[in-house]
A and B are shown apart, each in its own frame.
Chain A
Amino acid sequence: MALDDWPSPSVNVREAFNVREFGDPHGRPMLLAHGFGCEQGMWRHMVPAFAADHRVIVFDHMGLGGSDPRYYDAGDYGSLETYARDVLRICEELALEDIVFVGHSVSAMIGVLAARREPTRFGALVLICPSPRYIDDPETAYRGGFSADDIDGLLSTLSHNYLGWAESMAPVIMGAPEGDPLSDELAATFCRADPEIAKRFANATFLSDNRDDLAHVDVRSLVIQTKHDVIAPEFVGRYVADHLPRAELVEIDAVGHCPNMSAPEQTSAAIKAFL
Chain B
Amino acid sequence: MGAPPPHPGGPGAPDPDDLSLDEFYEHAVCGYLSLTADGTITRVNETFLDWTGHSREDVLASTRFVSLLTVGAQIFYETRCAPLLLAGRSVDQVSLDLRRADGAVVPVLLGARVHATATDGRPSVIRVTLVDLSERRRFEEELVARNLELARANEEYDTFAHAAAHDLQSPLRGIRQNTEFFLEDVEGADLPGDVVDQLHTVVRLADRMQRMLADLLVYAQAGRGALHVEPVSLTAVVGEVVDLLGDPARRAAPAVHDAALSADRGALRQVLLNLVGNAIKYADGPPAIEIGACSLEDARRVSVVPPSLADVPPSATVITVADRGRGIDPASRDRVFELFRQVDPDAEGSGTGLALCRLICRRHGGDIWVTSELGRGSTFFALLTPGQG
Contacts and interface: CB of A to CB of B under 8 A. Distances in A.
Given A36-B79, A174-B121, A152 B72 contact: yes
A255 B36 CA distance: 11
B72 A230 contact: no
Interface in A155-196: 155-158, 160-161, 163-164, 167, 169-170, 172-177, 180, 186, 190-191
A146 B71 contact: yes
Given A153-B72, A173-B114, A230-B67, A42 B83 contact: yes
Nearest to B120: A177
Contacts of B71: 146-147, 150, 153-154, 230
A167 B92 contact: yes
A169 B64 CA distance: 24
Interface of B: 37-40, 64, 66-67, 70-76, 78-80, 82-84, 86-90, 92-97, 113-114, 117, 120-123, 137, 140
24 contacts: A35-B79, A38-B83, A150-B71, A153-B72, A153-B73, A154-B71, A154-B73, A161-B95, A169-B89, A170-B90, A174-B88, A174-B117, A174-B121, A174-B123, A177-B122, A191-B83, A228-B67, A231-B75, A254-B38, A255-B64, A256-B64, A257-B82, A262-B86, A262-B122
A177 B121 CA distance: 5
A70 B329 CA distance: 49
A206 B352 CA distance: 50
A257 B89 contact: no
A45 B37 CA distance: 15
A151 interface: yes
Contacts of B37: 262
A262 B38 contact: yes
Nearest to B70: A153
A37 interface: yes
B82 A172 contact: no
Nearest to A231: B78
B286 to A, nearest CB: 50
A249 interface: no
A2 B93 CA distance: 34
Interface string A20-44: 0000000000000001111001101
A163 B93 contact: yes
Given A154-B76, A254-B38, 5 more contacts: A44-B87, A172-B89, A173-B113, A191-B87, A228-B67
A132 to B, nearest CB: 16
Contacts of A204: none
A114 to B, nearest CB: 21
Contacts of A258: 78, 82-83, 86
Contacts of B123: 174
Contacts of B114: 173-174
Interface residues of A, number: 49
A228 B88 contact: no
A255 B38 contact: yes
Nearest to A263: B38
Please indicate which of the listed interface residues B76, B113, B123 has the most CB atoms of chain A within 10 Å of its own CB: B76
Contacts of A146: 71, 75
Nearest to A193: B80
A256 B78 CA distance: 8
A154 B72 contact: yes
Contacts of A229: 78
A202 B207 CA distance: 57
A67 interface: no
B62 to A, nearest CB: 10
Contacts of A45: 122
A255 B40 CA distance: 9
Contacts of A262: 37-38, 82, 86, 122
A78 B265 CA distance: 33
Nearest to B40: A255
B98 to A, nearest CB: 12
B90 A169 contact: yes
Contact of A155 (B38, B72, B90, B93): B72
A157 B95 contact: yes
Contacts of A261: 83, 86-87
Contacts of B66: 230, 256
Please indicate which of the listed interface residues A105, A180, A206, A261 has the most CB atoms of chain B within 10 Å of its own CB: A261
Contacts of A153: 70-73, 97
Contacts of B38: 254-256, 262
Interface string A220-248: 00000000111100000000000000000
A191 B122 CA distance: 17
B64 A160 contact: no
A211 B65 CA distance: 31
A170 B90 CA distance: 6
Contacts of B40: 255
Contact of B73 (A157, A186, A190, A191): A157
Given A146-B71, A154-B72, A173 B121 contact: no
A149 to B, nearest CB: 8
Nearest to A159: B144
A214 B95 CA distance: 36
Contacts of A170: 89-90, 92
B322 to A, nearest CB: 39
A261 B114 CA distance: 14
A49 to B, nearest CB: 13
B97 A157 contact: yes
Contact of B90 (A42, A173, A257): A173
A201 to B, nearest CB: 10
B80 A172 contact: no
